[in-house]
Amino acid sequence: MNNLFEFEQDFVESLRCIPMVVRYKLDSCGVKLKLEHWNKFSQDARQLLVQNPISTPEEIIGYRNLLYELAEQYTNIPLKDLPIDDYFPWLEITKLPDTVQQKAGEIGINITLKQWQDLSPLQRFALIKLSRPSHENNNFLPALREFKIE
């Protein structure tokens, strides 16, 4: 299972953009991967980053090591380490992030706490990322529809 979303379908086959599942893994293991890196990776390398799990501390370390190996193999651009927060808002189920609720409200949708709780951590991560003020937000409504929140 790839965990690729329907709202990503315009680039899923080619993996020309970094999909949410990989962005989720990057945030979880504290690595900044630029699109410049991603575009130099082979299709197989990209697929490996989509598929490799990060469910345990060992898998997170292995994923991080894989990222560094791929960056060294395919690019001459060093990766950057990011601090890993103790708090991941996509794991929070007692309160919706303000940015998500605000963005939903802008398009006339009210997300209930129950709806938020019923989402997977990856789905919550996607909504958080898609609701950031610095993001284009083109996929926020398609993501809500895909997650059956309307």
Query: If you average pLDDT over residues 130-135, what whole number do you get?
Result: 82
In three-state secondary structure terms, 32 is strand
The sign of the torsion formed by the CA atoms of 84, 89, 90, 92 equals positive
Cα–Cα separations (whole angstroms), residue 42 to 11, 16, 74, 87: 15, 11, 8, 33
Percent of the chain with pLDDT over 70: 96
Tell me the pLDDT of the chain averaged across its residues: 91
Query: If you average pLDDT over residues 121-146, what whole number do you get?
Result: 89
pLDDT digit string, tens, across residues 42-96: 999 999 999 999 999 999 999 999 999 999 999 989 999 998 877 889 999 999 9
d(CA 58, CA 47): 20
Whether 101 and 111 have beta carbons less than 8 Å apart is answered as yes
The pTM of the full predicted model, rounded to 2 decimals, is: 0.90
Of 45, 51, 52, the residue nearest 69 (C-alpha)? 45
Q: Is the pLDDT of residue 1 over 70?
A: no
pLDDT digit string, tens, across residues 15-28: 888 999 999 999 99
